[in-house]
Amino acid sequence: MRVTKAELHQLIQDKIHKAGLSKEHAGIVSDVLTFADARGIHSHGAMRVEYYSERIAKGGITQEPKFNFEKTGPSCGVFEGDNGSGFVAAEKAMDHAIEIAKETGVAVIGVRNISHSGALAYYVERAAEKDLVAVSVCQSDPMVVPFGGSEPFFGTNPIAFAAPSNDERIITFDMATTVQAWGKILHARSRKESIPDTWAVDEQGNPTTDSTKVNALVPISGAKGYGLMMMVDVLSGVLLGVPFGKHVSSMYHDLSKGRELGQLHIVINPEFFVGLDTFKQTISTMLDELKTVAPSAGFKEVNYPGERGRMREKNYEENGIEIVDDIYQYLISDDIHYDRYDHKNKFAE
């Protein structure tokens, strides 16, 4: 099923609002989810709406959160999320970071006690669009074996980065610290597709291509990915006083309780360093020079990080965004949710 971006945004907003969030907050949730689908990141898009709706309806996401931002230093602060929507808290915290970085040159803002916040690329691009450089990291469920281990401890703990150029191009990357994001496993399972044997392991700790037998993911590049995911947990968990590692709450264990997740935004103003104009011009020069690199076998050209996602977005604008039929039927239905996720395992089973 293909729908326009505007139609998809309205369907998601209506469903999230019906589940219990205000129209403003439901609109922000829809902004981020639609952004993900428009970039081809379907694992973080409309397929998540029913889960969020069930958690909202059952009280696991505070419907009217008491958000509070405390500036704890000239360039730092903590945004208290009151277990409200992670999308909304992360966006509002990023806006504080942008404002502070514009004034002081750098901002480090922690976001604590929130629910899942989706694709981090959305937030860092929000800063890049304001001529700033941004990094964002956050926690996730313990579902990754540490290097040398056979039991899950850390989450996929993603890292996102964005930087502006002197034209419409924005460098953007958003990566899990695992070989692949958990959402991609769920996406493969929903389509009954196999996965590469480098993505995950089964209950015995052996590599598997069967998406139905996955027990845990593996760190990207072994010990290096393991170190990165620990770094993310320290910055977005330990630093903010929320649960860390294997103590991070499960996405599906109890949808009536808040998840108490943490996230950290770091925003840098190039004007305070090399100067904004020089920075943006140099980024553009870098991207231009990358295009002159001879492609390897099987590639037509070298793409800068984020370029392919923008190409997908342009294609979707022309041809509509592809949504799985079952998800579309749910979005247009009168139902809020179907009790599919509460007290389920990490596969929502």
Cβ-proximal residues to 64 (8 Å cutoff; 6+ apart), any chain: 22
Q: Say which of 42, 96, 116, 337 is annotated catalytic.
A: 116
Alpha-carbon span 226 to 252, nearest angstrom:
24
Active site residue 253: no
Give the number of other Cβ atoms within 10 Å of residue 239's Cβ: 16
Question: Which tokens belong to 193?
Answer: 């597709």
203 SS3 class: coil
Pairing of strands 76-84, 106-114: parallel
160 SS3 class: strand
Closest CA to 174 of 129, 143, 138: 138
Question: Which tokens belong to 91?
Answer: 């966006």
Q: Are 92 and 236 in contact (CB under 8 A)?
A: no
Cβ-proximal residues to 36 (8 Å cutoff; 6+ apart), any chain: 42, 43, 44, 45, 118, 119, 122
Q: Are 292 and 304 in contact (CB under 8 A)?
A: no
Taking each helix axis as running N to C, give the angle between helix 325-332 and helix 5-19, from 0 to 180 degrees, rounded to the nearest 10: 60
Alpha-carbon span 240 to 1, nearest angstrom:
42
Taking each helix axis as running N to C, give the angle between helix 23-38 and helix 86-104, from 0 to 180 degrees, rounded to the nearest 10: 80
Q: Are 137 and 263 in contact (CB under 8 A)?
A: yes
Catalytic residues: 116
